[in-house]
Amino acid sequence: MGLLVALDRPGGYEELVGKLCSRVDGFKLGLPLLMARGPGYAGLLRRRCRDALWVADLKLADIGYVMRLTAGLVAEHVDAVIAHGFVGVEGALGELKDYLDSLGKRLVVVASMSHPGAREAYDHALPRILETLERLRPWGVVAPATRPGVVGIVRRRLGPGVAIMSPGVGAQGAEPGSALCAGADYEIVGRAITGSGDPVEAAERIRREQEARLSN
């Protein structure tokens, strides 16, 4: 059972990371934060919680050359980098994975997204993206908590060896634990924690709700 906190706002998160460190499994750094504060800020945050899983959510979607350059700016400060699945293996995700492997870092690939618009194109592409994921074998996959059926499809197709992380819990409407029950390893929660008046209490409550749903 896992909980990753999405840090998206360009605000200062030093104190919050320290407080959440023993209560969550990791942190996902969003582009607004990384662009506003720079990659070095990821390193500063990481020093506040060294044993957590740190993920740079770059949502890369480019040729391999450019994705390698971009990932290389932040890789030393994180454990994993997120890229989109629709760009394919040849000349893109394959190159990025080889590069991250050479650095001892992990690739996480988006299989589909959590917002309603994902139905317009992303979900139609899912069968093709699953073929890409089967060939690529990334360390992790992003699949939407808002559509647990998609989480289940990814889990059944890729088996137990892949880490599935699911956004959409809280602000986007999915209940804590719903993606975990469908086969995810981590739920990604942003605003329901970071936008709360008491983020520590919010994280603890979400943990309890995850546990309760899993034990039902």
**Residue ranges of the binding site for substrate:** 8, 28, 114, 190-191
| Active site (annotated) includes residue 59 | yes
Q: Is 6 in the site for ligand 3DU (CB under 6 A)?
A: yes
DSSP per-residue letters across 71-135: HHHHGGG-SEEEEESTT-IIIIIHHHHHHHHHHT-EEEEES--SSGGGGTTHHHHHHHHHHHHHH
Q: Is 113 in the site for ligand 3DU (CB under 6 A)?
A: yes
How big is the site for ligand 3DU, counted in residues (CB under 6 A)? 18
Minimal distance, residue 60 CB to ligand 3DU, in Å: 12
Stretch that binds ligand 3DU, among 38-46, 150-158, 166-174, 202-210 (CB under 6 A): 166-174
Per DSSP, the three-state class of 59 is strand
Do the bridges between strand 80-84 and strand 106-110 make them parallel or antiparallel, or are there none, so unpaired? Answer: parallel
In this structure, are residues 188 and 169 in contact, taking their beta carbons and an 8 Å threshold?
yes
Of residues 50 through 109, those in contact with ligand 3DU by CB under 6 A are 57
Of residues 11 through 40, those in contact with ligand 3DU by CB under 6 A are 28, 30
| Active site (annotated) includes residue 62 | yes
Q: Which of 189, 202, 203, 206 is the binder for ligand 3DU (CB under 6 A)?
A: 189
In this structure, are residues 47 and 27 in contact, taking their beta carbons and an 8 Å threshold?
no
- What is the DSSP code (8-state) at residue 50? T
Residue nearest to ligand 3DU (CB): 190
- Name which of 34 and 158 has its Cβ closer to ligand 3DU: 34
Among residues 57, 79, 97, 185, the one annotated as catalytic is 57
| Active site (annotated) includes residue 19 | no
Q: Which residue has the tokens 């949502």?
A: 59
Do the bridges between strand 140-142 and strand 163-167 make them parallel or antiparallel, or are there none, so unpaired? Answer: parallel
- Strand-pair partners of 167: 188
Q: What is the CA radius of gyration of the chain?
A: 16
Q: Is 190 in the site for ligand 3DU (CB under 6 A)?
A: yes
Of residues 141 through 160, those in contact with ligand 3DU by CB under 6 A are 142, 144
Q: Which two tokens stand for residue 171?
A: 């602000």
Tell me which residues touch ligand 3DU (CB under 6 A): 6, 8, 28, 30, 57, 113-114, 142, 144, 167, 170-172, 188-192
The residues carrying an active-site annotation are 57, 59, 62
